Amino acid sequence: MSTDHERQACLIIGAGSAIGGAIIRRLGTENPDCDILAVCRRPEALPHTADACLHTFACDYTEPGIIQLVQQLKPWHGRIRLVVISTGILHTGTIKPEKRVEDLHMDSMLEVLRVNTVMPTLWLSYLLDAVRSDIPCRVFTLSARVGSISDNRKGGWYSYRASKAALNMVIRTAAVEYARRAPNVKLVAFHPGTVDTELSKPFQRNVPQDKLFSPDFVAERLLTISSDLPIDGDASYLDWAGKSITW
């Protein structure tokens, strides 16, 4: 058993998401030697667990909130081997993915870009010192296949597509800098497939049953892919099967 000082950690940002929650549950059963750092807006709403490895943190995801949270993680700096950023919105009470250009509204588009692009970007910025160490660390940001510019044949969902395409560009750009400043870190834009969660609920009708994944299936896929992924100084855009998606 490793001592408190040697224990590695996995950081899950967006612990309140269905996918983030499933990853936390899997890590809890499969990695008893690893601290799990779970960040979300309302940790009190997370399912109760007696897991001593689980440490929960509240964050409002504002820039000062992110800075403060990274400070709270100080005891684990240099010992983080996996980061998953699984926050993201497609629809809210007032936002719907756009079908036509006439559906576009500035406030809605800005909110989707704020949550899906700017927030993960701030994490990549403020976490640099926390993940920079001799320990290899994989950072998975939940993207989506619809963020692929070269693969866009169907159109629609302007704001969501744009937010994920911009996120992908941030990940590729950050990978260039991380390769220099934090060479033991691998950055990944991850497409989980269509997963049965609140986010995809209104859009599941045309998805074949065998293509609608459970959060637990995707959690298993992400953790398996992560464990085999070489630290190569480059960003990867991968789907749930571990296959590359064209940017």
Ligand X SMILES: NC(=O)c1ccc[n+]([C@@H]2O[C@H](COP(=O)([O-])OP(=O)(O)OC[C@H]3O[C@@H](n4cnc5c(N)ncnc54)[C@H](OP(=O)(O)O)[C@@H]3O)[C@@H](O)[C@H]2O)c1
Helix (H, G, I), strand (E, B), or coil: what is residue 19? helix
The distance of Cα 145 from the centroid of its chain, to the nearest Å, equals 14
Segment interacting with ligand X (CB under 6 A) among 69-77, 95-103, 195-203, 237-245: 195-203
In the complex, the smallest distance separating the C-beta of residue 225 from ligand X, rounded to whole angstroms, is 15
Is residue 200 a contact residue for ligand X (CB under 6 A)?
Answer: yes
In the complex, the smallest distance separating the C-beta of residue 31 from ligand X, rounded to whole angstroms, is 20
40 and 15 Cβ atoms separated by less than 8 Å: yes
Is residue 194 a contact residue for ligand X (CB under 6 A)?
Answer: yes
Residue 41 backbone phi and psi in degrees, to 5: -75, -35
Bridge partners (DSSP) listed for residue 39: 13, 57
Residue 38 backbone phi and psi in degrees, to 5: -110, 120
Taking the CB of residue 211, how many other CB atoms lie within 10 A of it? 10
Cα separation, 54 vs 174, in Å, equals 29
Q: Which of residues 113-142 bind ligand X (CB under 6 A)?
A: 115, 142
| Helices 215-228 + 18-30 axis angle, to 10 | 60
Cα separation, 163 vs 89, in Å, equals 10
Q: Which of 7, 26, 41, 96 binds ligand X (CB under 6 A)?
A: 41
In the complex, the smallest distance separating the C-beta of residue 207 from ligand X, rounded to whole angstroms, is 9
Quick note: the x/- pattern for ligand X over 13-32, rule CB under 6 A, is: -xxxxxxx------------
Is residue 195 a contact residue for ligand X (CB under 6 A)?
Answer: yes
Segment interacting with ligand X (CB under 6 A) among 73-81, 96-104, 191-199, 228-236: 191-199
In the complex, the smallest distance separating the C-beta of residue 51 from ligand X, rounded to whole angstroms, is 18
Residue numbers at the binding site for ligand X (CB under 6 A): 14-20, 40-41, 61, 86-89, 115, 142, 144, 191-192, 194-195, 197-200
